[in-house]
Amino acid sequence: MRQHRLRTLAIGALLLLGLIAPARADDQDPPRRIQEEIWALPTPLPMFAYLVRPLGDGPFPLAIMNHGVSLNARDRSFFPLVEFRDAAMWFARRGYLVVAPVGTGYGAAAIDIPERGLYGPFFSKIGKCTDPNFFDAGLAVAQVDLWIIDYMTAEKRIVPKDVIVVGQSAGGWAAIALSSLNPPPVKAIITFAAGRGGRVDGKPNHNCNPDRLVEATGALGQTSRVPMLWLYIENDTFFGPALSKRMYEAFTAAGGRAEYHLLPPFGDEGHFLIGSPDSIPIWSPLVDRFLRSIR
């Protein structure tokens, strides 16, 4: 019964919020018109998701886009429903059905009763910096990706074994964690400024136990064999160049497959590069080349 209600909600959301965006002149040949939708996903932890896809019935290759996290409960309650719209549309215009879920405990999925201290279930905490659990925090969000893959496969919306996962910040860390499981449908992963525990207490370049983060990255690399593209930015004050290079070296030394690029400074804070439409000309050639290499 619960699943039926959620599916009904999803259909209602499609009818209410579905939009058609025209193809852009800079799209690759052939240009595609795309459809934007809002779904309520009947996963074990129900959540909303922004979905954008080419027009037609498909099936399409799937791209999942993981957002970052905020440790502030009130900030999570105001989280936007669509965070990476321009980047998601870039992938959709290249043939992908893009699902960008809003994590449980964020935005419309949050329980906003501040007088009772309730802001929704947030299940990817790392714990205290003296003993952070980066590993399980990443796997918790990776599980959401697996639920989405299973659901879209069952609905016959996607091409089996043609899935990519894209993640920013903690969402990128979850994608790295997902790679350690080597799920058969996932053929590639792309991360932007991936990591956990950045800017402790809001202080630039003040990280939560960076040595433990590097150690955890190496542990994930021991079993990860999914081709990956890691993009970092010089003026990222969450995960700066020195730390991101240490993470990459630990990951690949352990056996993980990753291509690392350090992009030039972008705006006032490079950590949020993927959220800006102005950044697409910077990262898209690298992403396009990477995706072509794994076909």
Q: How large a percentage of the chain has pLDDT more than 90?
A: 67
Q: What are the boundaries of each domain within the chain?
A: 2-20+30-293
Tell me if residue 268 falls in helix, strand or coil. Answer: coil
Order of all β-strands in the sheet with 186-192: 19-21, 34-41, 47-54, 97-101, 60-66, 158-168, 186-192, 228-233, 258-263
Interacting residues of 272 by C-beta distance below 8 A, sequence separation 6+: 168, 193
- What confidence tens digit (pLDDT) does each residue in 23-70 have? 444 445 556 899 999 998 888 877 889 999 999 988 999 999 998 775
Q: What is the amino acid identity at position 117?
A: G
What is the predicted pLDDT for the residue at 112? 46
* pLDDT tens-digit readout, 135-169: 998 998 899 999 999 999 999 999 989 999 999 99
Question: Is domain 2-20+30-293 in CATH 3.40.50.1820, yes or no?
Answer: yes
- In this predicted structure, what is the pLDDT of residue 30? 57
At residue 228, does pLDDT exceed 90?
Answer: yes
The residue with tokens 């018109």 is 33
**280 exposed, middle or buried (CB, 10 Å; 0-12, 13-18, 19+)?**
middle
pLDDT score recorded for residue 37: 95
pLDDT of residue 208: 95
Q: State the Cα–Cα distance between residues 142 and 96, nearest whole angstrom.
A: 20
Q: What is the pLDDT of residue 21?
A: 55
180-197 pLDDT, tens digit per residue, is 999 999 999 999 999 999
* CA-closest candidate to residue 230, choices 254, 183, 263, 206: 263
Instruction: Choose among 73, 74, 75: nearest CA to 83.
Output: 75
Instruction: Tell whether omega for the bond before 30 is within 30 degrees of 0, i.e. cis.
Output: yes
85, 174, 69, 110 alpha-carbon torsion, rounded to 10°: 80
